[in-house]
Amino acid sequence: MTLSNYNAEQLVSALHTQRDAANALDEALDKAKRTAEKLTNDYGSKFTVVKELKSPVVKIAEEYAKELRASRDVANSDIATRLSQLLDIYLPITETVGSMSSRDEAVDALQSYKSEVNPLAKSPLKGFPAVTEVFSNVWSHTNDIASYCNTALENATPLTINQVVEKLKSDLVPVKAGLRTVKDAVESYANTRS
């Protein structure tokens, strides 16, 4: 396995697309809700059909807002946290390996990280299949990076451990930069209008 499978730019683009679409729909539904309320107030007494317009529009807008908040909570609590853990804990552990015993500890830590279950696998975001897919792709890519490091360390011998760690350090420079941009995009999705 190589790190070339990892493409932060595609993830960032997909996250921004989902953020922009979610915001546009949020704004459109808010406008529809205000319009339905105005029409009901202005014409509801004269036209029965207009009087019935407000309730379903308000219900749809409120349901969407609730689900959007839930998707943003997942972005913050699960996806951004997972990226932070990889950047701030697991990759630094990998880069500081200096002996076979510290290698074994790093392999165990990476294995533990990889074994965490993606919460979206069991409970996809209601009404947000594309966001679920993008978040799941981010999760998969973090696992791919952890697997790459894990495999490299597992294959190291007492004679090659230092060279393996130096190669990992070099390989991880662009990966960490990419992870930071993905994390920024996740946080941008999570922290925009609603």
Domain residue ranges of the chain, discontinuous segments joined by +:
3-189
- Alpha-carbon gap, residue 144 to 11, rounded angstroms: 14
For residue 134, give the nearest of 23, 18, 4 by alpha carbon: 18
Name the 3-class secondary structure at 155. Answer: coil
pTM reported for the whole predicted model:
0.90
- How many whole angstroms from its chain centre is CA 28? 24
H or E element, residue 8:
helix 8-43
Q: Indicate the average pLDDT of the chain.
A: 93
For residue 14, give the nearest of 192, 177, 181 by alpha carbon: 181
pLDDT of residue 6: 62
Would you say residue 111 has pLDDT above 90? yes
Give yes or no for a contact between 22 and 134, defined as CB atoms under 8 angstroms apart.
no
For residue 129, give the nearest of 27, 5, 21 by alpha carbon: 21
List, for residues 77-92, the tens digit of each pLDDT value. Answer: 999 999 999 999 999 9
List, for residues 23-44, the tens digit of each pLDDT value. Answer: 999 999 999 999 999 999 999 8
List, for residues 52-67, the tens digit of each pLDDT value. Answer: 888 999 999 999 999 9
